[in-house]
Chains A and B, each alone.
Chain A
Amino acid sequence: GAGVSQSPSNKVTEKGKDVELRCDPISGHTALYWYRQSLGQGLEFLIYFQGNSAPDKSGLPSDRFSAERTGGSVSTLTIQRTQQEDSAVYLCASSNKGGANVLTFGAGSRLTVL
């Protein structure tokens, strides 16, 4: 596609429910990143994919968070048993390779946990 696509753009859920956030990167981009942005905070790294592998998942805040990538393309970030502190904008970015390269971001998925 022309850009990085994320869905849903907005998600309101109740505490304890599971949510899935989807990222469709630029076609051909092998590297994919998930970040979280809370109000007044910088971008917090969550997980990095190279192809379908996740060589760095050190940023996942707890075992309630998981992510997968299939076919070297679409990625899904899953948050189980959501908590209010999970409320944030979840940003996905892709680049055409690893190393020091420019990231192209999606518009983000805003998650609100009531």
Chain B
Amino acid sequence: EDQVTQSPEALRLQEGESSSLNCSYTVSGLRGLFWYRQDPGKGPEFLFTLYSAGEEKEKERLKATLTKKESFLHITAPKPEDSATYLCAVQAPSGGSYIPTFGRGTSLIVHP
């Protein structure tokens, strides 16, 4: 059973059409939830870290929120350059280490 589930798998938006991406998790003892952006042919690039329920972080058109079971990445008035795959990862203690576990990502395409 996946510990991190992202939805939707793919999302197509028109420029300016706001929406949200979801990341639900089932780990215990969450130490951190991370959002990354991945462009084709590149490695994931860090966006946000959230540590506790109720926390919010913002960067340009993106806002990440966290509850005890899920995180949302809200995209306000997206632009074509926001097109990418967005990955969510959680870190929780497991056998003495904190290996980040990633979801499968949401592929976002923003049409001009």
Contact = CB atoms under 8 A, between A and B. Distances in A.
Main secondary structure of the interface of A (DSSP, over half): loop
B31 A99 contact: yes
Interface stretch (A12-20, A40-48, A65-73, A76-84): A40-48
Interface in A64-110: 91, 93, 98-108
A108 B41 CA distance: 8
Given A41-B104, A42-B87, A56 B99 contact: yes
A100 B32 contact: yes
B24 to A, nearest CB: 14
A45 B103 CA distance: 11
Nearest to B47: A102
Contacts of A107: 41-43
A1 interface: no
B112 interface: no
Interface residues of B, number: 27
A40 B89 CA distance: 16
Contact of A108 (B36, B43, B99, B104): B43
B97 A56 contact: yes
29 contacts: A4-B43, A33-B99, A33-B100, A41-B104, A42-B102, A42-B103, A42-B104, A43-B44, A43-B87, A43-B102, A48-B97, A55-B96, A55-B97, A56-B95, A56-B97, A58-B95, A93-B43, A98-B97, A98-B98, A100-B32, A100-B49, A100-B51, A100-B98, A102-B34, A103-B34, A103-B100, A105-B43, A107-B42, A107-B43
Interface of B: 4, 31-32, 34, 36, 41-46, 49, 51, 87, 89, 91, 95-105
Interface of A: 4, 33, 35, 40-43, 45, 48, 55-56, 58-59, 91, 93, 98-108
